[in-house]
């Protein structure tokens, strides 16, 4: 395996360096056909401009996916955290891989890391770069957050948080259950389009109700006011800052350190199946 493992990248598992790595049983990796020449595949779990992904208990399928997007999924990173040759964001691939019996969906990213290293002969390294972003902190009046109710179930602490939506009127309430502040800050980076780091220092988990405009949930969606006129995106996003303020928190713009990976070498044509 020609891949240089990258310690310290968030969301990765590097314990495999000293033991047999998690890997798919059988995998097909091919260059994808040109866009528009493939018939649509039914039952895709997630379809975006970056391609389509389906993960089941026994198979992982990635259709029309760029190497950059594959690296994002393998290492749990955002686009701005990955750089390399221009083609990693343009060339597309189809991957179908069998997941070994007894494995979980949480094992798939590590399996994907191994597969990309093996088939694309990737060599990469890590860097810490300063990016324009936001710092999530505590407002002047102090936090107004509702701690999550303790559970008698000992496994509850290992459960992931949940997110649901309450639709009504001109706004939508995003309901977070069992959310930590670092995870909440990470979530905010998606609608804001910039990295957000947590500096609140608040431990534990919280139930958070966040009333925002639809433009926050669906960036790029055109909203209209009561008179039917378009609402500017800046006005829509201001609802997010207002909601954060009402929680007794604040978002300050600034430079934030971000762990990044740089692809030094990679084969554009993957090795044969």
Which residues touch 48 (CB under 8 Å, ≥6 apart)? none
Q: Quick check: 94 pLDDT over 70?
A: yes
105 in the same domain as 56: yes
163 in the same domain as 205: yes
Q: Ranked by mean pLDDT, which of 11-20, 27-36, 147-156 comes out on top?
A: 27-36
Q: How confident is the model at residue 18 (pLDDT cuts 50, 70, 90)?
A: very low
Report the pLDDT value the prediction gives residue 2, as an integer from 0 to 100. Answer: 37
Q: How confident is the model at residue 152 (pLDDT cuts 50, 70, 90)?
A: low
Which residues touch 135 (CB under 8 Å, ≥6 apart)? 196, 197, 199, 251, 252, 254, 256
Q: Quick check: 41 pLDDT over 50?
A: no
Note whether residue 270 is domain-resident.
no
Report the pLDDT value the prediction gives residue 138, as an integer from 0 to 100. Answer: 96
Helices 67-75, 108-120: axis angle to 10 degrees equals 140
Note whether residue 4 is domain-resident.
no
Per-residue pLDDT averaged across 264-269, rounded? 95
Note whether residue 95 is domain-resident.
yes
Note whether residue 138 is domain-resident.
no
Q: Of all residues in the chain, what percent carry a pLDDT higher than 70?
A: 74
Report the pLDDT value the prediction gives residue 166, as an integer from 0 to 100. Answer: 82
Report residue 229 as tokens: 């006129």
Q: Quick check: 260 pLDDT over 60?
A: yes
Q: Where are the beta strands (DSSP E) in 99-228?
A: 123-138, 146-147, 162-168, 171-179, 196-198, 206-212, 223-224
Which residues touch 106 (CB under 8 Å, ≥6 apart)? none
Per-residue pLDDT averaged across 63-69, rounded? 95
Report the pLDDT value the prediction gives residue 269, as an integer from 0 to 100. Answer: 95
Note whether residue 224 is domain-resident.
no
Its domain, for residue 175, covers 143-218+231-247
Per-residue pLDDT averaged across 49-53, rounded? 74
Report the pLDDT value the prediction gives residue 115, as an integer from 0 to 100. Answer: 95
**CB-neighbour burial class of residue 113 (10 A; exposed 0-12, middle 13-18, buried 19+):** buried
Q: Of 179, 206, 184, 207, whose CA–CA distance to 196 is shortest? A: 184
Q: Tens digit of pLDDT for each residue in 110-151?
A: 999 999 999 999 999 999 999 999 999 999 999 999 999 886
47 in the same domain as 23: yes
Report the pLDDT value the prediction gives residue 44, as an integer from 0 to 100. Answer: 40
Report the pLDDT value the prediction gives residue 212, as an integer from 0 to 100. Answer: 87
Helices 233-246, 181-192: axis angle to 10 degrees equals 170
102 in the same domain as 191: no
Look at 6-15, 147-156, 176-185, 216-225 and tell me which has the smallest mean pLDDT: 6-15
45 in the same domain as 120: yes
Asked whether the whole model's pTM tops 0.75, one would answer: no
Which residues touch 87 (CB under 8 Å, ≥6 apart)? 67, 268
Q: Tens digit of pLDDT for each residue in 222-248?
A: 444 444 444 444 566 888 999 999 999
91 in the same domain as 49: yes
Report the pLDDT value the prediction gives residue 226, as an integer from 0 to 100. Answer: 42
Mean pLDDT of the chain: 81
Q: How many domains does the chain have?
A: 2
Judge whether 264 and 125 are in contact, CB under 8 Å: yes
Measured at the CA of 94, the angle between CA 65 and CA 273, to 5 degrees, comes to: 135
Distance from the Cα of residue 225 to its chain's centroid: 31
Q: Of all residues in the chain, what percent carry a pLDDT higher than 90?
A: 55
Judge whether 130 and 187 are in contact, CB under 8 Å: no
* Exposure of 181 in the CB half-sphere (CA atoms within 13 A): 23
238 in the same domain as 154: yes
Q: How confident is the model at residue 218 (pLDDT cuts 50, 70, 90)?
A: low
Q: Quick check: 83 pLDDT over 50?
A: yes
177 in the same domain as 97: no
33 in the same domain as 100: yes
Tell me how far apart the alpha carbons of residues 161 and 2 are, in angstroms, rounded to a whole number: 36
């Amino acid at each position: 395996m020609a891949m240089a493992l990258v310690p310290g990248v968030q969301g990765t598992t590097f314990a495999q360096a000293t033991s047999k790595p998690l890997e798919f049983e059988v995998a097909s990796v091919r260059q994808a056909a040109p866009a528009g020449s493939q018939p649509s595949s039914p039952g895709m779990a997630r379809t975006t401009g970056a391609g389509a992904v389906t993960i089941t208990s026994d198979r992982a399928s990635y259709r029309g996916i760029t190497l950059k997007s594959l690296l994002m999924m393998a290492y749990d990173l955002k686009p701005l955290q990955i750089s390399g040759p221009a083609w990693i964001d343009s060339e597309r691939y189809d991957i179908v891989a069998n997941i070994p019996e007894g494995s979980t969906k949480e094992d798939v990213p590590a399996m994907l890391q191994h597969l990309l290293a093996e088939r694309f002969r990737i060599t990469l390294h890590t860097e810490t770069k300063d990016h324009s972003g936001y710092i999530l902190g505590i407002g002047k009046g102090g936090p107004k957050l509702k701690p999550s109710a303790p559970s008698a179930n000992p496994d509850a602490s290992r459960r992931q948080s949940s997110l649901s939506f309450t639709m009504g009127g001109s706004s939508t309430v995003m309901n977070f259950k069992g959310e930590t502040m670092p995870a909440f800050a990470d979530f905010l980076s998606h609608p804001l389009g910039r990295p957000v780091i947590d500096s609140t220092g608040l431990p534990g988990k919280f139930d958070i109700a966040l009333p925002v405009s639809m433009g926050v949930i669906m960036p790029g969606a055109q909203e209209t006011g009561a008179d039917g006129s378009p609402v500017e995106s800046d006005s829509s996003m201001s609802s997010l800052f207002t909601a954060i303020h009402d929680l007794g928190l604040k978002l300050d713009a600034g430079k934030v350190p971000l762990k990044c990976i740089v692809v030094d070498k990679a084969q554009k044509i993957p090795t044969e199946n």
